Amino acid sequence: MSDKQHILDSIRAIARGLGRAPTRSEFVALAKISEYFVTQCFPSWNDAVRSAGLHANTMNVKLEDSELLKDWGEIVRSNRAIPARRAYRRVGKYDPRTLERRFGPWSSLPEVFLNFAKDNPEWADVVALLPARAPNNEHESNGDSAFPIQPKKTRHVPLKDRPTYGNPTHFRGLRYEPVNEQGVVLLFGMLAKELGYMIEAVQTVFPDCEAMRQITPERWQHACASSLNLRAEISATTGTLQAVAM
């Protein structure tokens, strides 16, 4: 059975139980098939519903901001980490584009959630996982900031016999961006599961990493990657590794 047919059969089965076509979030919750895989087979959720021979729900019911942020917060809580956009697309109830239209760029969601969850003890554990809000600085209006970072401009002459570090990132347990191949491979290992990879081997010769990657719900493919490939994969997915010295 093809993945497309499996999705259609699942939509029909859930519709029989509900007495109507399921919403996208109902389908994800009941079928245990992520929205990500649906979008690999159909242009939109309504197209999938129509392909299953059902009437798509065209009611334009606006979701409350709180519902969107609660779902994002639950993903942070379950993963103990801020989800990358691609990861949320796979496991979240809503389309990442909906959150971006409502709240701005994906990178702004932690701060938006902090404003939403402040003084609410229900979300204290999630707030603790988010980066602290940068303190207001009375001189910021003049173009100053508390910790200006200028990655492409030399600020001081490097000291000899001392290690160098990448830009501060505070990404999970990594305090600085990697500056060498081993650091990139380490970061990839931290993200492998949510990127859809299972690592088979890591080595000091080419390729740096051998892994299996998930291409459909029940199909995997062997992949070999160098640190350069891994850097591109991580950067495209999370926005991390903006400038890694190789």
Q: What is the pLDDT of residue 51?
A: 92
Percent of the chain with pLDDT over 90: 14
Structure confidence by residue, pLDDT tens digits, 154-210: 567 778 888 888 888 777 777 888 877 778 888 888 877 777 788 888 887 777 788
Maximum alpha-carbon separation in the chain = 72
CA distance linking residue 13 with residue 17, whole number of Å:
7
Structure confidence by residue, pLDDT tens digits, 36-67: 788 888 888 888 998 999 887 655 456 788 98
pTM surpassing 0.95?
Answer: no
CB 198 within 8 A of CB 220: yes
Q: What is the pLDDT of residue 141?
A: 43
- Tell me the H-state helices in 19-108: 24-31, 35-41, 45-51, 65-79, 85-91, 96-103
Q: How confident is the model at residue 130 (pLDDT cuts 50, 70, 90)?
A: confident
